[in-house]
């Protein structure tokens, strides 16, 4: 019984740390403005991105060359987005205010993916410019 209690407390602690880590990543990315090129590629006209666009934006991110420093961050936010989706569905009927908060967090995750795409586009442009200057 004590082992089960320790296990539950450890999982709760891990989840608390994980959520804090993901929220800090998202907060850092929210301070970044998207470039005009990223807005054109994603179809985003302002800072508002729908939560349902997250998967589409991640597919675009996967198409770009990886700069090597954001793979874990994207994976963590993707897992966080999945947890938010489950929680949103669970709270839809019993706590509409909490469900709206979950949707706002999902929108923040989608903006995170848009900024990650913007970073990868900039990285690709840099690679292309360096290859052109070598030839």
The structure's pTM equals 0.85
The residues near 2 (Cβ < 8 Å, ≥ 6 apart) are none
Q: Please give the radius of gyration of the chain, using alpha carbons only, rounded to the nearest integer.
A: 18
Q: What is the pLDDT of residue 108?
A: 92
Q: What is the pLDDT of residue 82?
A: 93
Q: What is the pLDDT of residue 8?
A: 93
- CA dist 64 and 72 (Å) reads 16
Burial class (CB in 10 A: 0-12, 13-18, 19+), 124: middle
Average predicted confidence (pLDDT) for the chain: 86
Whether 112 has a pLDDT exceeding 90, the answer reads yes
Domain boundaries, position 118? 2-134
Q: What is the pLDDT of residue 84?
A: 92
Q: Span 126-131, mean pLDDT?
A: 72
- Band (pLDDT 50/70/90 cuts) for residue 135 is low
Per-residue pLDDT reduced to its tens digit, 12-64: 999 999 999 999 999 999 898 888 888 887 777 776 788 888 998 999 888 87
Question: Is residue 81 helix, strand or coil?
Answer: helix
Considering its fold, how many domains does the chain have in total? 1
Residue that the structure tokens 């290859």 belong to: 131
**Residues 27, 17, 113, CA angle at the centre, nearest 5°?**
35
Q: What is the pLDDT of residue 17?
A: 95
């Amino acid at each position: 019984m004590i082992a089960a209690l320790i296990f539950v407390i450890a999982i709760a602690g891990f989840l608390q740390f994980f959520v804090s880590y993901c929220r800090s990543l998202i907060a850092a990315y929210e301070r970044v403005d998207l470039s005009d090129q990223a807005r054109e590629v994603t179809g985003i006209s302002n800072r508002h991105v729908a939560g349902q666009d997250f998967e589409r934006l991640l597919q675009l991110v996967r198409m770009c060359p990886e700069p090597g420093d954001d793979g874990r961050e994207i994976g963590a936010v993707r897992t966080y987005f999945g947890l938010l989706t489950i929680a949103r569905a669970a709270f839809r009927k019993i706590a509409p205010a909490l469900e709206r908060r979950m949707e706002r967090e999902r929108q923040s995750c989608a903006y995170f993916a848009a900024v990650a795409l913007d970073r990868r586009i900039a990285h690709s442009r840099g690679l292309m410019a360096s290859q052109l200057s070598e030839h």
